[in-house]
Structure 1
Amino acid sequence: MPEFFDDRRPHDGLSYEEYRDHWRAQKEEDLSDPDPSERRMQHYLNYNWDRQASVHASYEPSDALQAAVASISEPQLWMVLTEPWCGDSAFLLPIIAEAASRGENVTLRILLRDDNLDIMDQYLTDGSRSIPKLVAFTEEGDELFTWGPRPQGAARRYEALDEEYDEKTEVIAELLEYYQDGGWQEGDEELAAAIQTAVPASSSAA
């Protein structure tokens, strides 16, 4: 069991509703005399809010993902490390949240990455603190599976863009277009597969 789990930090994380309340408060904060970085951050927060709202409005978990979640027969805690300013998360966290909401044995808790860097550093992607990162645990703190920070198709797209452009902003802009055009839906299939890696033993024993 990780020490942070023993300390119940994931358990004390934000529910999805609390996370969205936190996000809403940030994006609606009255910046009387914002510096450029604060104005830019609020811009990201607002655009990402619209992105996640668009996913929620159009998304219904696939039969495969619903079946995977339904096959979870023992309690699981899904810990997600993320931040509202993350474009990947704006498209992918709704998939995780919709899936978790359909699992009676699933509890979703969200930890803000920048407040939990010691935990984040245990789940790096190629040495990077990339988000969103989902880690599923048993009640006893055994790690079941991880998923994220982006689907394989999006990851390949990012690598290609990174080779094409020198400016990081151009890479991110085109990656977000990739998601906007439906690339985020790849996350549904991958999440279902990730869940299934932890289910067979308990399912066959049922």
Structure 2
Amino acid sequence: MTNPPIPAQPPVLSAERLATALSYAQYRQRIDELMAQGQTTGETQSPELTDYAKLNIQRMQRLDKKAELLPELQKTLEALTQEYAWVIITEGWCGDAAQIVPVLEKMAQASNGRIRTYYLLRDENLDLMDRYLTNGGRAIPKLLVLHADTRTEVANWGPRPAEAQDLFLETKAAGATHEEFAEKLHGWYAQDKTRAIQQELLALVRGL
């Protein structure tokens, strides 16, 4: 008895839509240009979100300069044999994105061309975002790992490392304000120095 053929997995998004994504340089430029106008990315605009985006620019600049990949992650990335498209759903005002996106970009740069990153703004791609909700919410950043040729999904990750997610859930359950949570979360990121992000992504890359 023969088993029925496994249906072909559909592409996560079309080649045309992928071509509209931003490079990392374009993403950073978009944020900087909006900041010069007192704005940030996304549909919602407020002084608070602009302030968050301003802090996030500083966070990304710092990580661009100082973050270093773990040796075992570097070696694993260099050993990749297939090519992947990493689609990253993000926004300039998102504090988690500012802490994570530079690490994803450094990983792509270390992959000898095997990983190419594509940045999509959440609010401009809600139909895609809504396929990757976290506990029913549009939490970002979200990494979609796709085969470069077929654009079919291999894995996805996000919006934050498990330890940070636990901190989020605990703080939220305790009734903390957004400001209180943000202070705790970014304190955690500062102490962790991207290690948890890199360890989780190392496990992901080893599974490719």
Q: TM-score, normalised by structure 2?
A: 0.86
- 2:88 equivalent to 1:80: yes
User: Following superposition, which runs of at least 4 residues in structure 1 exceed 6 angstroms of deviation?
Assistant: none
Q: Does 2:163 match 1:163? A: no
SS in 2 for 1:84: coil
Amino acid at match of 1:29: Q
Say what the alpha-carbon RMSD is for the aligned residues: 1.8
Aligned residues: 193
- Uncovered stretches (5+) of structure 1, i.e. residues with no partner: 32-36, 199-206
Structure 1 residue 184: Cα displacement: 3.5
Note the C-alpha offset of 1:4.
Answer: 5.3
| Structure-to-structure mapping, 1:1-206, within 5 angstroms | 1-2=9-10, 5-29=13-37, 38-103=46-111, 104-138=113-147, 139-182=149-192, 184-198=194-208
Instruction: Give the letter aligned to residue 191 of structure 1.
Output: L
- The whole-number CA distance in structure 1 between the counterparts of 2:177 and 2:50 is 21
Name the structure with the higher helix share. 1
In 2, Cα distance between equivalents of 1:53 and 1:4 = 31
- Shift in CA distance, 195/71, structure 1 to aligned 2, threshold 3 Å: same
Structure 2: runs of 5 or more not aligned = 1-8, 40-44
CA–CA distance in structure 2, aligned partners of residues 129 and 194 of structure 1: 22
Query: What's 1:203 paired with?
Result: none
Give deviations 1:82-134, integer Å, cap 9, x for gaps: 00100000001111000011111111000000000000011111111110100
Q: Give the whole-Å Cα distance in 2 for the aligned partners of 1:128 and 1:183.
A: 26
Indicate if the aligned counterparts of 1:165 and 1:171 stay in contact, CA closer than 8 A.
Answer: no
Structure 1 residues 13 and 2 mapped into 2: Cα distance closer, same or farther (>3 Å)? farther
Could you list the per-position Cα deviations for residues 8-32 of structure 1 after superposition, in whole angstroms to 9, with x for gaps in the alignment?
A: 322320000000000111112157x
CA contact (8 A) 1:151 1:186 kept: yes
